[in-house]
Amino acid sequence: MRSPAWFARWAGRHRRWVGVWLFLAVVALGLGSTNAAAPFLAAGLAPGLLATLWHAASPVSYERWCSGPLRRWRWRRRVRRSWKDLAASCGLSGSVAVVKRRDGKRVTEHQVVVPRLRRVRTRGHLLEVTIRARAGQTTEDLDDAAPRLASTLAAVAYRTRPVSGGASGCTTVIELVMADALTTHATAVEPEPRAVCDQVRLGRAQGGGEWSLTIRGRHTLVAGCSGAGKGSVLWGICCGLAPAVRADVVRLWGVDLKRGVELAMGSGLFSAHAYTPVDALGVLKTLMTVIDERGAAMAGTTRLHQPVVGDPLHVLVIDELAALTAYADSSIRRDAERLLSEILTQGRALGVVVVACVQDPRKDVVTMRGLFTQTVALRLRSGDETVMVLGDGMTRVAPAHRISPTFPGTAWVVDDTGAADRVRADYWPDDLIRDLATRYRTDVRIDVAPPRTTDPLNAEFGEAAAPRARKPRTPRSDRESIRLVKDPVGGGAS
Ligand SMILES: Nc1ncnc2c1ncn2[C@@H]1O[C@H](COP(=O)(O)OP(=O)(O)OP(=O)(O)O)[C@@H](O)[C@H]1O
């Protein structure tokens, strides 16, 4: 037997049917005078109607109303009503001298002028304030006032963006995040069974909207210290692409030098995987072959590869890039850096993209950091690391080093407009990954193990794979003879 609260919640979810219930109840009551069964029908409909009314009057709905439309209305009203005061306290107001004639005398009055408030609107947890600069003010002045406005209105975060079109040169939108939607943990849900490869949904943005990441035509670097939640971003991408993997519109290549602990869980999604440095070189070399073949086929025809069934987008997923580029054996490291740099510079347009995770984003660890075209900055250890990952001047607008360890999966990203946004990836439980990897298993398996023979094409791998033969030591020359050769003046050298 369901509880009344359950009925209330159910009725609340289906409240759009309340009109239908009302209509049917009225019809049933109307028929009641002629049809003996009608009162019973009305009695059957009445609980649903009562549940709906109860839900509408319940404290849950009142709270939802207060935290939803009412709260948003209050935010908007506060800005509109006290705009002059807000502008003055944020340093946006100024004064102009106006000369007037009073009783035949010239009087100079000082008038307070504020930038014009063009629009105030709310979207989810976002309060958007569109401001047009007053005379003598620049959009930089408006940008500088944004943190002050955010703190005056008790906003959680803020960002500014220019307005496009019209008198855009002097108009700015200040987006204030009024409530933090990212404090709650969200578990990922299975993706729609559509083969999409352009973008994948990874989680939520701080304004309450969705966070999606573009995959096609981008190389992605996911940086974050241990426990920052790189796994959520990695599996969000792999599992989001799962329907496309099954349809062979996308092929995933996995490199996990942490003994495959992470990627082996969803191995069914990967056409090829490498859990040792030597196999990783095999994966990179095979992808270079794909690039060479595609380059030859696409030359003069198209500039961006269009993935189709059988001619897919290749996504190379590397968990802990540093294991390959910094901590591997020096000969492997050298080859890996060269091959990966080539893939990063040539692969994007040819339908070969890289998604790499790294704990330590320093240049000596990830030498090709600058070749990635988009970055996701999860929790980092210092402001310097934020600059390394997101770029100069980003510590103020996208402080990834200030993300709390209690909110794993939270990251700062820079969107296509160049504005920074705080996002949180959904969590992917192991069971869901395994289940998806079984159901969307790829039929394409590529063997990438480099042959350990003397095949001239794979000579470099053979060399890297096999332990190098030690060079025989040159016998040391006699110290005396060296001294004599170096000192011809002393005579008797020959
Ligand atoms: N999106 C998320 N939401 C909530 N919790 C998460 C999220 N992502 C990860 N976590 C939690 O944080 C823990 C660490 O996550 P994860 O293993 O992905 O971190 P990592 O950055 O890959 O760390 P490492 O580099 O050490 O492997 C997970 O066990 C999980 O409990």
Measured from the Cα of 186, ligand 1's closest atom is 3
Task: Please indicate whether residue 359, judged by its CB atom, sits closer than 6 Å to ligand 1.
Answer: yes
Confidence of residue 71 (pLDDT cuts 50, 70, 90): confident
Mutate-to-test residue for ligand 1 from 183, 185, 187, 230, highest number of ligand atoms within 8 A of CB: 230
Mean pLDDT across the stretch 197-219? 91
- pLDDT beyond 70 at 335: yes
- Residue 471 is predicted with a pLDDT of 53
Ligand 1 contacts CB of residue 405 (under 6 A): no
Asked whether residue 456 carries a pLDDT value surpassing 60, the answer given is no
C-alpha 201 – ligand 1 centre gap (Å):
18
Mean pLDDT within 40-61: 66
Between the CA of 407 and the centroid of ligand 1 the distance, in Å, is 9
| pLDDT tens by residue, 213-238 | 999 999 999 999 999 999 999 999 99
Q: What percent of the chain has pLDDT over 70?
A: 78
Average pLDDT over residues 377-405: 91
SS (H, E, C) the chain: CCCHHHHHHHHHHCHHHHHHHHHHHHHHHHHHCCCCCHHHHHHHHHHHHHHHHHHHHCHHHHHHHHHHHHHHHHHHHHHHHCHHHHHHHCCCCEEEEEEEEECCEEEEEEEEECCEEEEEEEECCEEEEEEECCCCCCHHHHHHHHHHHHHHCCCCEEEEEECCCCCHHHEEEEEEECCCCCCCCCECCCCCCCCCCCEEEEEEECCCCEEEEECCCCCEEEECCCCCCHHHHHHHHHHHCHHHHHCCCEEEEEEECCCCCCHHHHHHHEEEEECCHHHHHHHHHHHHHHHHHHHHHHCCCCCCCCCECCECEEEEEEECCHHHHCCCCHHHHHHHHHHHHHHHHHCCCCCEEEEEEECCCCCCCCCCHHHCCEEEECCCCCHHHHHHHHCCCHHHHCCHHHCCCCCCCEEEEECCCCCEEEEEECECCHHHHHHHHHHCCCCCCCCCCCCCCCCHHHHHHHHHHCCCCCCCCCCCCCHHHHHHHHCHHHCCCC
Q: How confident is the model at residue 491 (pLDDT cuts 50, 70, 90)?
A: very low
| pLDDT reported for residue 464 | 46
Q: CB of 409 closer than 6 A to ligand 1?
A: yes
- Judge whether residue 458 has pLDDT over 50: no
CA of 57 from ligand 1 middle (Å) equals 41
Q: What is the pTM of this model?
A: 0.73
Closest CA to 360 of 340, 380, 341: 380
Residue 433 has pLDDT above 80, yes or no: yes
Least confident segment among 151-165, 229-243, 399-413: 151-165
Pocket test for ligand 1, best of 359, 379, 427 (most atoms within 8 A of CB): 427
Which comes out higher in pLDDT, residue 37 or 287?
287
pLDDT higher than 80, residue 457 = no
- pLDDT higher than 70, residue 481: no
**Residue 379 Cβ contacting ligand 1 at under 6 Å:** no
Q: What does the pLDDT read at residue 466?
A: 45
Structure confidence by residue, pLDDT tens digits, 157-170? 888 887 866 555 68
- Mean pLDDT along residues 229-258: 95
Task: Please enumerate, by residue number, every residue annotated as part of a binding site.
Answer: 224-231
**Partners of 159 in the beta sheet?**
175
Is 410 near ligand 1, meaning CB less than 6 Å away? Answer: no
Q: Which atom of ligand 1 is nearest to the CA of 231?
A: 18
* pLDDT of res. 449: 66
Residue 350: per-residue pLDDT: 93
Residue nearest to atom 13 of ligand 1 (CA): 227
Judged against a pLDDT cut of 60, whether residue 44 lies above it is answered with yes
Cα separation of 398 and 400, whole Å? 6
Average pLDDT, integer, range 129-151: 90
Q: What is the pLDDT of residues 288-320, one digit of tens each?
A: 999 999 998 888 787 888 999 989 999 999 998
The Å distance, Cα 433 to ligand 1 centre, comes to 14
Annotated binding site for ATP: 224-231
Residue 237: both structure tokens together: 């991408």
Q: Is the CB of 408 under 6 A from ligand 1?
A: yes
Tell which wins on pLDDT, 274 or 330: 274
Beta carbon of 230 within 6 Å of any ligand 1 atom: yes
Secondary structure percentages of the chain, helix, strand, coil, to 5: 45, 20, 35
Distance 358 CA to ligand 1 centre (A): 13
Distance 419 CA to ligand 1 centre (A): 26
CA 305 to centroid of ligand 1, rounded, Å: 34
Q: Is the ipTM of this complex over 0.90?
A: yes
Mean pLDDT in residue range 434-456: 77
Q: Would you identify the CATH topology of the domain 199-465?
A: Rossmann fold (3.40.50)
- Percent of the chain surpassing pLDDT 90: 46
pLDDT of residue 365: 77
Q: Distance from the CA of 231 to the center of ligand 1, in angstroms?
A: 6
Annotated domain spans of the chain: 4-57, 76-177, 199-465
CB 428 near ligand 1, within 6 Å:
no
Q: What is residue 483's predicted lDDT score, i.e. its pLDDT? A: 45
Q: Does 69 have pLDDT greater than 50?
A: yes
* CATH 3.60.40 for domain 76-177: no
Closest Cα to residue 266, out of 220, 319, 215, 221? 319
pLDDT value at residue 460: 45
Does 423 contact ligand 1 (Cβ within 6 A)? no
63 vs 341, more confident: 341
Please indicate whether residue 224, judged by its CB atom, sits closer than 6 Å to ligand 1: yes
| Separation of CA 241 and ligand 1 centre (Å) | 20
Mean pLDDT of 70-75: 89
Task: Check if 76-177 and 199-465 are the same fold.
Answer: no
**What pLDDT is recorded for position 453?**
44
Which residue's alpha carbon is nearest to atom 3 within ligand 1? Answer: 427
- Name which of 9-18, 58-67, 137-146, 150-159 the model is least confident about: 58-67
- Is the pLDDT score of 30 beyond 80? no
Ligand 1 midpoint to CA 277 (Å): 24
pLDDT average, residue stretch 458-470: 46
pLDDT band at 283 (very low <50, low <70, confident <90, very high): very high
48 lines ligand 1 (CB under 6 A): no
For residues 41 and 25, the answer to whether their CB atoms sit within 8 Å is no
Given a cut of 80, is residue 182 above it in pLDDT? Answer: yes
Residue of 221, 230, 232 to test ligand 1 pocket, by largest number of atoms within 8 Å of CB: 232
Given a cut of 60, whether residue 462 has pLDDT beyond it is: no
Mean pLDDT confidence for 400-412: 94
